[in-house]
Amino acid sequence: MIRYLTALAALAVLTACVKNVESKPAVERRAVRLLALTAERETLKIPEVASQLEADTDQERTPHIVAVGESPLLPAEGVDVWLAGDEQGTTGFSVDNCILIEVLSDDGKRVGRAAIGYLNGLSEGKEQIDLLGRRAFKFEANEVNLVTLLPEKGRFRVRATVLDIGGVGYVSDLFLIITPRSAAASDDLRER
């Protein structure tokens, strides 16, 4: 009987100590505008060029700069970062020709980069820039995930430079959709 009462008292003490806290993700979903809609312009009427870059094309090899945008500093731990054409993450986006995405650490050092869009290749000097996603002018909402470009810890910002290599250049609205990283994505990152 004494054992029973002792066990019952211990159980009562333990259950009284348990604090019922509602689980909340460390990262809240949010959207950050990276680029605003830039109307079509003829390439030759765009004076600014990215002279440090070279496009793999039979047209003009030095890309023209259509638009540039940059995010504020964002936390890197536990996030997925997707691209979409609206704040809700439900609309796709389009670009002619490509978007050079550069991920910068909080001290401004480039830690990742890739090009997204319709091009064969892009290089800076002898360094080939990776292409992220399929070769296209239009992308579905949340089709392109930037997680492979992000640092594992600390803070980062994303710089987007829209480049055109002939004809006309434009970009639709472009948002970063920041969400808590899924367990599957975290496992994938550990394996790389």
- How many structural domains does the chain have? 1
pLDDT score of 130: 96
Strand order in the sheet with 30-35: 30-35, 174-180, 79-84
Evaluate if pTM is beyond 0.85: no
Residue 178 lies in a domain: yes
Who wins on pLDDT, 60 or 99?
A: 99
For residue 82, give its domain range. 24-191
Residue 175 lies in a domain: yes
Q: Which residues of 149-160 are buried (b: 16+ CB within 10 A; e: fewer)?
A: bbbeeeebbbbb
pLDDT score of 182: 76
pLDDT greater than 60 at residue 183: no
pLDDT greater than 90 at residue 175: yes
For 79-97, what is each residue's pLDDT tens digit?
Answer: 999 999 999 999 999 999 9
pLDDT greater than 90 at residue 1: no
pLDDT greater than 70 at residue 186: no
